Amino acid sequence: MLNFSANLSLLFTEVELVDRFEAARQQGFSAVEIQFPYGLEAGTLQKALTEAGQKLVLFNVDADDLLQGGEGLACVPEKQTRFRQAIAQTLAYAKVLKPVAINVLPGRCLNQSRLSEYLQTFRENLCFAADAFAPLGIKTVFEAINTHDIPGFIIHSSAQMLAVLDELNRPDLFMQYDIYHMRMMGEEPAGFIGDHAGKIGHIQFADCPGRAQPGTGEIDFEPIFSAIEKSGYRGWVGAEYKPTGTTVDSLDWFLRGEDHADQTA
């Protein structure tokens, strides 16, 4: 059975973030994730989680200017001090919210002549993050993002994620596998997940192209969800898409997927 979580940064945006936990519960979700929770106090978020009976699965380390077109934080050599400050902030939230995993977004390199330097900085920062989160029993994950949406993103394929994991060889470090991003890069998720489930710490999905709910693009999710079940992956599968209408109207996939869904994990 699959354990679905709702990404509250993209879903249930019809209401304020603090009210989305309850909105997700009302639609049958028992777990949620947030891209960047830092706009609210950790205690406020924890209260909302408790009142809605929700588990927080994942959130991201601050990524600085990445979503505004910049290079981000985790791979930029000149920003290593700022990255360590971001880890301290994340730790403070993690101690209160107790997520299953924390995602470190690699970032982008806008000067390709420095790419090797950026990759080395990212590997160093990833180890620093894992050292910080492992004592709390929290997995560190990182993800590949397609270069159509974010040109210059330094990790943009499954092969690159595997290479980082093999080089660093850490039991507390995993890939965050995003079905949307990998399909945008021309990859086939079902086979990869089946082959490498043990190296995946979190899965996210949206349809492709468009990054909306299942049924709006070209992806057939039935074989992918079945492949995840058969793979032995027992983590959460995060709905991280942009609804074409209201969130509630976008949840047909969730109702259809009841044969796959297990909301009690």
DSSP the chain: -BEEEEETTTSSTTS-HHHHHHHHHHTT--EEEES--TTS-HHHHHHHHHHHT-EEEEEEPP-TTGGGTS--STT-GGGHHHHHHHHHHHHHHHHHH--SEEEE---B-SSGGGHHHHHHHHHHHHHHHHHHHGGGT-EEEEE---TTTSTTBS--SHHHHHHHHHHH--TTEEEEEEHHHHHHTT--HHHHHHHHGGGEEEEEE--TTTS-STTSSS--HHHHHHHHHHHT--SEEEE----SS-TGGGTHHHHHGGGTB-TT-
Q: Is 240 a catalytic residue?
A: yes
Q: Is 143 a catalytic residue?
A: yes
Residue tagged active-site, from 16, 41, 117, 143: 143
Residue tagged active-site, from 78, 218, 240, 258: 240
Catalytic residue numbers read 143, 240
